[in-house]
Amino acid sequence: MAKVIGVKFKNTAKVYYFAPIEGQDDYKEKTGVVVETAKGLEYGTIVFGLKEVDDKDIVHPLKPILRKATEKDEKTVKDNEKKIPEAMEYAESKINELKLDMKLIGCEYAFDGKKLVFFFTSDGRVDFRELVKVLAARFHLRIELRQIGIRDETKLLGGIAPCGRTCCCASCISEFGKVSIKMAKTQGLHLNPGKISGLCGRLMCCLEYENDYYSEVYKKMPKVGGTVGTPEGDGVVVSNDMLKLISKVKISKGDGSEVYKDFPVDRLNFKKGGNTEKEDAEEEKVLQELKNILD
């Protein structure tokens, strides 16, 4: 077991482990600290104080916290943030002037003030060598232009997701997981791109959260539109509640009337074992068409 401090950096949800300063153990949450990373000196915020973590969960050697942030450090961070709007405005004007096919998303100053990083999106590769020269001459700093993807753009800018909360990518997930349209289908969601896409236009990250549960339950539920046997006669499945393990079934009566009733899945008789090859092929075709739309 190793003693660590959890630290987050700006625009990230991932927690990084650092070794505490020898002899110090009073690390409070939301306290600023200065650490050394592969990028150089960085300012971060403590998300949890001293705790022990299994050695297998750590990448050794652990880099130590250099110091708790001083008033001067806090001022440096605020001053860097104040300079961002001016840097963005100037860079945007030069991108337009040079007629570069790129969309500027954001920028950040390195904590030590030696580097300025610009983030942008583009449909293809961009020759921004001239832009780097112009920006370096204007700011007298090392300039780095970093192309990011559309999901990274939403992560950087943030926003309110369809659920009414801040986008997962900008608030709680540390890394993008693999999300597929099949996950949406398994969870019984409407396969409408507008309903299952996030602000980035890609599939919502939250589809991955409970996929293991839904994948298991999906095997136990009857297929919507399929025929099942109920205690009151045969009927057709209209919908499934995969959390309560209940199916809504339409039963046709002898007098021509129809009734809709809910039945626990364990009271229904139906063939288990998945789709036929033809059904699999039809579903795969629909999923591929939706994938093409989202891509």
Task: Identify whether the C-beta of residue 33 lies closer than 8 Å to the C-beta of residue 65.
Answer: yes
Non-local CB neighbours of 8 within 8 Å, separated by 6+ positions: 14, 15, 16, 44, 45, 47
Query: pLDDT per position in the chain (295 positions), as tens?
Result: 788 889 998 877 788 889 888 777 788 888 999 998 888 889 999 998 888 888 777 777 888 889 999 999 999 999 999 999 999 999 999 999 999 999 999 999 999 888 999 999 998 899 999 999 999 999 999 999 999 998 899 888 888 988 888 888 888 887 888 888 889 888 888 888 888 888 888 889 889 988 999 999 988 899 888 999 999 999 999 999 999 999 999 999 888 889 999 999 999 998 765 544 445 555 566 566 666 656 5
Q: Distance between CA atoms of 122 and 133, rounded to whole angstroms?
A: 20
What is the pTM for the complete model shown? 0.74
220/45 Cα distance (integer angstroms): 46
Q: Are 27 and 49 in contact (CB under 8 A)?
A: yes
Contact 43, 79 (CB under 8 A): no
Which letter, b or e, does each residue of 184-201 get, where b requires 16 or more Cβ atoms within 10 Å of its Cβ? bbbbbeeeeeeebbbbbe
